[in-house]
Amino acid sequence: MAIVKMNKISIIGLDGVKSSLIKELMDLGVMEITSLDYRLHDKDWIGYTERDGNENDILKYDSKLSKLNLVLESLDKYDKTKKPMFAVRKSISKNEFESVLQNEHVINNKVEDILRLNSSLSDLSSQENKIELNKISLKPWVDYKIPLNLNETKFTSILTGVIPNMVNISKLQEDIENKTNKYFIDVIGSDSDQYYLSIICLKNEKDDVYEILKQYSFNAVIFKELQGTASENILNFENELSEIAEKKSKIEEEISACINHKSEIQYLYDYTIMERDKSKILRNILKTSKTFYINGWIPEKCKTNVENVLKVNECWYEIVEPEQDEQYPILLNNNSYTQPFESITELYSLPSSSNIDPTAIMAPFYFMFFGLMLADVGYGLIMSLACFLVLRKFKIEGTMQKMTKMFFWCGLSTAFWGAMFGSWFGDAIPAAANLFFNSDFTIKPLWLNPMTEPMTVLIFSFIFGIVHLFVGMGISAYMLVRDGKPLAAITDIGFWYGFIIGIALWLFGNSILPGSTPIGKWMTIIFALGLVLTQGREKKGIINKLVSGVLSLYNITSYLSDILSYSRLLALGLASGVVSSVLSILGTMGGDGIFGAILFTIVMIVGHTFNFAINALGSFVHAARLQYVEFFGKFYEGGGEYFNPLMKKTKYIKIIREEN
């Protein structure tokens, strides 16, 4: 119902105007350029055309974007200014944007400088890590007084290494003494895993000593390229680390000094994105030696603006409506109230072009169901106020904006149903009045208390569910009539209306409308016969038609199952209410003294924050489920493709078009 009508457009122009045309179409942001690869396999096109674009250009832009992103991440790391809660694009004029980019070569030089500084910083960090590892490896040897580079003298050999800490050192010494008494063993240190040893022996007895050491899982430790003792080397390492820290500090100061160029680099980043996208879109264009061919889609309401651009660039063009049953990209257009609920539709799937946009019809049901399941004045007001402040303070866009607006409306629904059920942070206010003021103050519900009258709420939940399902069935009937199948609308939808209403009146009619039970009975019989006689109409043979018709009555179980699903409206509402009541009981257990006041405050803040978060999430999910399964299942066909126009998809800035 709110799917924007699209027109198909074909464009042929001279190669000389291609760049300016693409730039102007990107400025408009209303045309999706579709791929023409299928033409490359058409015998009538082969030999005359080829795909436009250059992959090397795209790779070049992607490489540049990678560098710019690295630079911006580096600047963010050292930027100490307060960052907003939500990242929003900065709005600037086209002239301001172009003015900054006139100094593109200066910005590029600054980017290279920052990349060089980052590279130096990375090299220093690598050196720092290497030295730290060397320092750590020497710490167990800090008490070893012999120079690490000394592993022999004229008559002796010096062995350094480690053995597992489970080894009996005394037994090791005893075994060595059985071979020679001309040795010296020094246990330098130990940790939870091993002993650190130095063994001095005669050169001609080295092999014998080493054989004994190997029996005790001895692993030699060799200190390569190190001169002097372990303690001297550790001191040298600490001095080197200090020097590296000073160098890093100076480099970080240089990077920090570049923060005032951050916005310029962001402009360059977005400019590069636009140039990359222009190069990418060329792959969807065919060309000859002197001309180009573009195919795509435009919203019908934007036809005049596109035509003006094409006329200025002296291009031939043809704009036609899509053929019957031809699928086209989907752009939704709803009013300010229903537009935020597009996010729920989009989470499921966009409608196909032959379907309808369900958002406007689904929105009031989602609004009502969400509030009915959370149902608390305090929760609702907090949700709406928070969303209002976010929308007022931050210029958020896209899905985030839609979701925030949707939760604003859902907060109002939550507050409304909370007032109807008398829930103001559960019964926290009466509990506080009773605890601290010994007052019997209560807040009466405007309608009823679901904790004491759950069956009433359950009945109304089923009534809401039946209305919801009937609306979905009605949309299906509308679509059948629209497609020229009015008889199918009567037999496939109308008869089910009568059958379901008949069963309801037959079973519960007297409690709602005295004397309606017989009417319900006959309605059930008549419409059941109608279903039996019509639901198998596509089968061959009378017997097959009747059998299929009889079996179709089994679908009543599906409808009953759908109706029962709406009991979750009561279940989630009770869950929120029960938790709130438990919180009030826990909060009042400390009495009315100072401790009691502190306990009550902590329980209320922590408990209600948890209750709000869990049940708000549950309400969001289950309200969506009722739309996706019960409602959409009656008529909705997804599978639509997003309308993806050629436009300035920037990350940091939003260029405002200046109207003359």
User: Tens digit of pLDDT for each residue in 467-503?
Assistant: 999 999 999 999 999 999 999 999 999 999 999 999 9
Please check whether residue 496 lies inside any domain of the structure: yes
pLDDT for 660 equals 41
Percent of the chain at pLDDT > 90 equals 72
Band (434; pLDDT cuts 50, 70, 90): confident
The Cβ of residue 333 has, within 10 Å, a number of other Cβ atoms equal to 15
- Whether residue 79 contacts residue 70, with contact meaning beta carbons closer than 8 Å, is answered with no
The residue among 295, 320, 314, 315 whose CA lies nearest residue 52 is 295
- Whether residue 120 contacts residue 127, with contact meaning beta carbons closer than 8 Å, is answered with no
Instruction: State whether 291 and 428 are in the same domain.
Output: no
User: Tens digit of pLDDT for each residue in 552-596?
Assistant: 888 889 999 999 999 999 999 999 989 998 998 898 888 888 898
Q: How far apart are CA 285 and CA 101, in angstroms?
A: 28
| CATH number for 214 | 3.30.70.2750
Please check whether residue 94 lies inside any domain of the structure: no
Per residue, the 3-state secondary structure of 357-371, as one string, reads CCHHHHHHHHHHHHH
Instruction: State whether 203 and 298 are in the same domain.
Output: no
User: Tens digit of pLDDT for each residue in 333-379?
Assistant: 999 999 999 999 999 999 999 899 999 999 999 999 999 999 999 99
Instruction: State whether 386 and 355 are in the same domain.
Output: yes
User: Tens digit of pLDDT for each residue in 40-52?
Assistant: 888 888 878 899 9
Q: How far apart are CA 358 and CA 299, in angstroms?
A: 20
Instruction: State whether 481 and 538 are in the same domain.
Output: yes
Instruction: State whether 350 and 480 are in the same domain.
Output: yes
Instruction: State whether 487 and 610 are in the same domain.
Output: yes
Band (547; pLDDT cuts 50, 70, 90): confident
Tell me which DSSP letter residue 540 carries.
S
Buried b (16+ CB within 10 A) or exposed e, 563-577: bebbebbbebbbbbb
* Domain coverage including residue 483: 339-634
- Whether residue 415 contacts residue 407, with contact meaning beta carbons closer than 8 Å, is answered with no
Tell me which DSSP letter residue 339 carries.
G
Instruction: State whether 311 and 369 are in the same domain.
Output: no
pLDDT for 129 equals 95
pLDDT for 658 equals 60
Q: How far apart are CA 62 and CA 52, in angstroms?
A: 18
Please check whether residue 648 lies inside any domain of the structure: no
Handedness of CA 74, 79, 80, 81 (dihedral sign): negative
Please check whether residue 141 lies inside any domain of the structure: no
Q: Give me the DSSP letters along 443-460.
A: ---SS--TTT-HHHHHHH
Percent of the chain at pLDDT > 70 equals 99
The Cβ of residue 533 has, within 10 Å, a number of other Cβ atoms equal to 14
How many structural domains comprise the chain? Answer: 3
Instruction: State whether 358 and 325 are in the same domain.
Output: no
Instruction: State whether 568 and 628 are in the same domain.
Output: yes
Q: Which two tokens stand for residue 450?
A: 């679901």
Instruction: State whether 19 and 40 are in the same domain.
Output: yes
Q: How far apart are CA 316 and CA 11, in angstroms?
A: 6
Q: How far apart are CA 268 and CA 652, in angstroms?
A: 10
pLDDT for 379 equals 96
User: Tens digit of pLDDT for each residue in 122-169?
Assistant: 999 999 999 999 999 899 999 999 999 998 998 999 999 999 989 898
Instruction: State whether 325 and 367 are in the same domain.
Output: no
Instruction: State whether 297 and 352 are in the same domain.
Output: no
Q: How far apart are CA 214 and CA 220, in angstroms?
A: 10
- At 287, is the secondary structure helix, strand, or coil? strand
